Amino acid sequence: MLYNQNDLKILKDEIEFVDTAVIPFASSDMTVHAPLNSSNIEMLHLVSIQLEKQFKGRLLITPMMTTVDENISVLASYVKQLRTYGFKNIVVLTHLKAEIDDAHRIKLNEIPLENMSNEMKIEMINDEVKTVMKSVISIWNK
């Protein structure tokens, strides 16, 4: 499920089945790391879309959250809101080292996508999606 009006209407009635929220979380600092940050954001977006397609009806992909200077206070607050809403599992999908209480962190690889062909991008994204899927399934099996 996605964070849109139609899916949120369904979510309200189906929260016992949609037990996992995934928060894409990235850095958007305008420093020398901006090119890498933009590549990471692209990867998070593409992986999130594929993850939602694979697990539709079982998880909610929230809007992407960004940080500056790796400040995670807003993310921590959002995790609490999601837990209060009824999500049993909360996953932070990120390239960052940030650890959040009461949430699982799945760290993506930093892959510079800008110089890759579309075929290579798709292959790299699919590899990341498979890894994330295995991690989510392992969270569900705990």
The residue assigned the tokens 């600092």 is 29
Amino acid (one-letter) located at 45: H
Distance from C-alpha of 130 to C-alpha of 5, rounded to nearest angstrom: 28
pTM: 0.92
Q: How far apart are CA 63 and CA 25, in angstroms?
A: 9
Give the rounded distance of the alpha carbon of 21 from its chain centre: 8
List the chain pLDDT tens, one digit each, 142 residues.
999 999 999 998 888 889 999 999 999 988 888 888 899 999 999 999 999 999 988 999 999 999 988 889 999 999 999 999 999 999 999 999 888 889 999 999 988 888 889 899 899 999 999 999 999 999 999 8
Break the chain into its structural domains and give their ranges.
5-140
Q: Which CATH class is domain 5-140?
A: alpha beta
Dist CA 138 CA 88 (whole Å): 14
* Pairing state between β 65-67 and 89-94: unpaired
Q: Is 14 helix (H, G, I), strand (E, B) or coil?
A: helix
